[in-house]
Amino acid sequence: MSKLALIIGPIAIYLVSLAVRAAVGRRPTRHGFNVEIAVILSAYFLVTAGLGIFWVANQQLPPFDWHYLFGYATFGLVLAHLALNARIVVAYARKKKAASASSRPAQGLAGKVVAALVIACSAFYMGMRAGSPKLAALPEGAADAHASAVAHYHAVSMHTREGVLLRSPSVAWDLPVPRYIDRSGLPRVELPRPNIARGAERPVGEALSGIPVKPRGRFHRDDLSVLLWATAGITDRRGGYDLRASASSGALFPTEIYLLAFDIEGIEPGTYAYAPDAHALVNLGMPPRADPAFGLDPDDPPVLALVTTSVFRRTGQKYRDRAYRYVVADAGHAIGNAIVAAADLGLATRLAGRFDEALVARAIGVDNRKEGVLAVLAVAPGSRGAVAASDSLFEPMALVNPEELELGATAFAHTATSMTFINSSMPVANKIDMVATGETSARVLSLIQSRRSARNFRGEALALEHVSAVLALAAGPRPVVSHATRVYFVANRVAGLEPGAYRYEGGALSPARKGDIANEVGRAALDQDVIRNAPSVVVVTVDRRALAAEGARGYRHAFLEAGILGARLYLAVAARGLGGCSVGAFYDEEAARVLGINMEEQWPLHFFGFGEKADSN
C-alpha cells in the first residue's frame, strides 16, 4: 500500500462509514461525531508522537531542539487532555449518557499518564535498538581490499526503505560543529571585493570546458579574490543562512579551501586558509611546497594550488554514514566553479589525480580523519604545474578498521580512497586537450553569482533545444578526474522527445527505458518533488568495471567528477535562463531501476533536475 493510502486510509474509511450511517438514518449526534473525531485524532497524534520519538532515538537527532521540546510539551498536554476525557469516550462507547460521564471526576489519571510514559520510553528504546550501528566485517581475503572497502561503504551508505530498521548511524554525530573555522589568533590578509563585472561575455561551452581566455598579465591579488569568491564565497544571505557560490548538500557547506600561493602579485608566497565569512585569507605561517607528494611539479610550480578539504561532521550531523558521498560531491561543485572562474581569469587548471592526503593535511595543519583532504587543484598558465597521475609514485593508504575511527564509515571511506607517497621520481607532465562546445554566451562570473538551486518548475514541456544545449555545455567537456562516470538523462516533459531514460554519450541520447517515469524517478529521489516535477533530470552514474580499473581512489574521483558536472549543470542552466537543483538523496536501487541499469554494473551517484523556473522559487 502506498504511503499516502496508509495515511489517508483510516480517515477515508471513517467518512465512508459516516455516509453509510447517514444513508440508513443512523447519523451520529453532534456529540457522537465529536467523540469519534476525538478518537481518530488521538490515534493519529499518538502515531505521530511515537514516530517522532523513535526517529529522534534512531537517527540521533538533537533531542532538545526547539521542534522536539515543543513536541514533548504538546505530548504531555495531549495526554492530560486524553486522560481527562477518556470517560466521555468510554461512556459513548457503552451508549451511556455522555453528560453524566463528563461530570464525574477523572479516575486513574496517574495510571494513564504512567502508561503513556511507558509507551514513549518504549518507542525511544526501540529507536535506540533498531538497526545495528556496526559496519559488517569486510569480506575476508578479497583480492583488492581497497576496492572491496569502497563497495562495502557504498552498500552501507545506501538509502533503502527498510534500511531505517536495519541500521543506525555508526557515529555520535550530534556534537556541535561550527559553520566556520575560528582562526582569530592568526594573521589575516584582507582580499579586495571581487570584481564580478570584469569578465567579458564568452561562449559558455568554452568557459565550462575550462578553456582559458587570454590572460591580462601576471595573476594578481584581485584575480585571486575573484577565484576564491567564485569557488566558495558567500553570494547571498537568506533566512540566517550564508549561501555560497557553489551548491552544497543540505546547505551545510563542509568544504574548506586552502591556498598554496607560489606566484601571485600582491600576495606573499605562503600557505593560507580562505575565510569565506570575511572574504579574507588567514596566513597559516608555512611556506608553500610544490611537492610531488601533493601532486605538484617542483620544477615548474603552478601560480597557485587550491587544496579542498571537508569538515566531515558538518554534513554527517544530517546525513550520517552517507556523508562521504555528499562531501565529495560538494567539493566537486566547488572545484567545478574554480575551473570555470580560473579559465575566465586566463589560467588553466589541473586536478591532481594522486596525492598523499596525510602529507597535504600536515602541510595545511588539519586532521585528515576529521577534515579530510579531498583534492588538489593546480592553477597555472597552459598545462604547467601538476604531475601525471602515476601509480608508481603512490600506494593505497593502509586500511583502518572503521571501529577505530571516530567518524566511522565516513573516515573509513576516506582512508580507503587515500594514497601514500612512496617514490620521488618525476613523471612527464599530463596534458589534457579541451574541446569547445555550445553557442550560448554569458559572463560566467555573473552566472556563478546569481546561480541558486531552483526546485519549482513550470508545467509546460521543456524545449529540446534547451536540453541539447545544457547537456552539451555540462556533459560535453572531457572528464576532469574520473573516466568511470556515465551520464543518463530522464525526459519527464521534453517537447519532441519521448518520455523515458536515455544514456547521453558523444553528444547523442540513446534510449535506455521508454515510458513516463516521472513518478518513479520522483519516488526514487526520496519522493522529492524537485525531481518528480522537473521536466528533465540528469543522473550521473559510475561504471563499476571502469571504477575498479582506477582503484579505490577512483571512488572518490567519481563523486568529485559528479560534483564538477553538477557545478557545470548549475551554470549551464543559468546561462540558458533555466533553473535546476542537484540532488544527492535517493534510494540507490530504485534509481538504478529507473534508468534500466544493473547495480552489479553501475551505481547511480547524483541527480540534477532542471527546467523553466516557476515564479514560486
Ligand X SMILES: Cc1cc2nc3c(=O)[nH]c(=O)nc-3n(C[C@H](O)[C@H](O)[C@H](O)COP(=O)(O)O)c2cc1C
Residues binding ligand X (CB under 6 A): 243-244, 247-251, 326, 329-330, 333, 452-453, 455, 528, 530, 566, 581-585
Reported as type and span, the H/E element at residue 315 is: helix 312-319
The residue among 87 and 333 lying less far from ligand X, judged by its C-beta, is 333
The residue among 282 and 569 lying less far from ligand X, judged by its C-beta, is 569
The residue among 296 and 329 lying less far from ligand X, judged by its C-beta, is 329
Ranges assigned E (strand) in 482-543: 485-491, 494-495, 500-505, 508-514, 536-543
The residue among 100 and 450 lying less far from ligand X, judged by its C-beta, is 450
Nearest-approach distance from CB 238 to ligand X, in angstroms:
9
112-to-6, 105, 108, 117, 554 alpha-carbon distances in Å: 28, 14, 6, 9, 58
The residue among 87 and 568 lying less far from ligand X, judged by its C-beta, is 568
Phi, psi of 535 (to 5 degrees): -60, -30
Nearest-approach distance from CB 576 to ligand X, in angstroms:
17
> For residue 351, what is its C-alpha cell?
586536478
> For residue 303, what is its C-alpha cell?
601560480
The residue among 430 and 456 lying less far from ligand X, judged by its C-beta, is 456
Nearest-approach distance from CB 7 to ligand X, in angstroms:
22
Nearest-approach distance from CB 605 to ligand X, in angstroms:
9
Nearest-approach distance from CB 447 to ligand X, in angstroms:
13
Nearest-approach distance from CB 93 to ligand X, in angstroms:
46
Of the candidates 31, 32, 39, 34, which has an alpha carbon nearest to the alpha carbon of residue 10?
A: 39
The residue among 420 and 453 lying less far from ligand X, judged by its C-beta, is 453
The residue among 87 and 313 lying less far from ligand X, judged by its C-beta, is 313
Nearest-approach distance from CB 153 to ligand X, in angstroms:
17
Q: How far apart are CA 564 and CA 571, in angstroms?
A: 11
The sign one gets for the Cα dihedral 453, 455, 458, 464 is positive
Nearest-approach distance from CB 536 to ligand X, in angstroms:
16
Q: What angle do CA 409, 402, 362 make, to 5 degrees?
A: 85
What would the DSSP string read from start to end of 335-371? HHHHHHHHHHTT-EEEE-S--BHHHHHHHHT--TTTE
Of the candidates 219, 243, 371, which has an alpha carbon nearest to the alpha carbon of residue 301?
A: 219
Per DSSP, helices labelled H in 94-157 are 98-103, 109-129, 145-156
Q: How far apart are CA 146 and CA 391, in angstroms?
A: 15
The residue among 249 and 437 lying less far from ligand X, judged by its C-beta, is 249
Reported as type and span, the H/E element at residue 306 is: strand 304-311
Whether 169 and 60 have beta carbons less than 8 Å apart is answered as: yes
- What is the maximal distance between C-alpha atoms in the chain? 95
Nearest-approach distance from CB 388 to ligand X, in angstroms:
28
The residue among 251 and 359 lying less far from ligand X, judged by its C-beta, is 251
Residues 6 or more apart whose Cβ sits within 8 Å of residue 99: none
Nearest-approach distance from CB 582 to ligand X, in angstroms:
4
Nearest-approach distance from CB 348 to ligand X, in angstroms:
25
The residue among 49 and 208 lying less far from ligand X, judged by its C-beta, is 208
Whether 133 and 104 have beta carbons less than 8 Å apart is answered as: no
Residues forming beta bridges with residue 82, ordered by sequence position? none
Residue written as grid cell 522559487: 617
The residue among 151 and 583 lying less far from ligand X, judged by its C-beta, is 583
Nearest-approach distance from CB 533 to ligand X, in angstroms:
12
2-to-8, 9, 45, 517, 523 alpha-carbon distances in Å: 10, 10, 20, 17, 11
The residue among 87 and 523 lying less far from ligand X, judged by its C-beta, is 523
Reported as type and span, the H/E element at residue 73 is: helix 66-93
Q: What angle do CA 479, 480, 482 make, to 5 degrees?
A: 70
Whether 542 and 483 have beta carbons less than 8 Å apart is answered as: no
The residue among 79 and 247 lying less far from ligand X, judged by its C-beta, is 247
The residue among 336 and 554 lying less far from ligand X, judged by its C-beta, is 336
Per DSSP, helices labelled H in 509-586 are 518-524, 529-532, 544-549, 553-575
Of the candidates 395, 298, 330, which has an alpha carbon nearest to the alpha carbon of residue 356?
A: 395
Of the candidates 396, 302, 399, 397, which has an alpha carbon nearest to the alpha carbon of residue 352?
A: 302
Q: How many CB atoms lie within 10 A of CB 89?
A: 17
DSSP three-state, residue 390: coil
Residues forming beta bridges with residue 351, ordered by sequence position? 377
Nearest-approach distance from CB 235 to ligand X, in angstroms:
7
Q: How far apart are CA 31 and CA 487, in angstroms?
A: 61
Whether 558 and 605 have beta carbons less than 8 Å apart is answered as: yes
> For residue 234, what is its C-alpha cell?
558567500
Nearest-approach distance from CB 263 to ligand X, in angstroms:
31
Nearest-approach distance from CB 562 to ligand X, in angstroms:
8
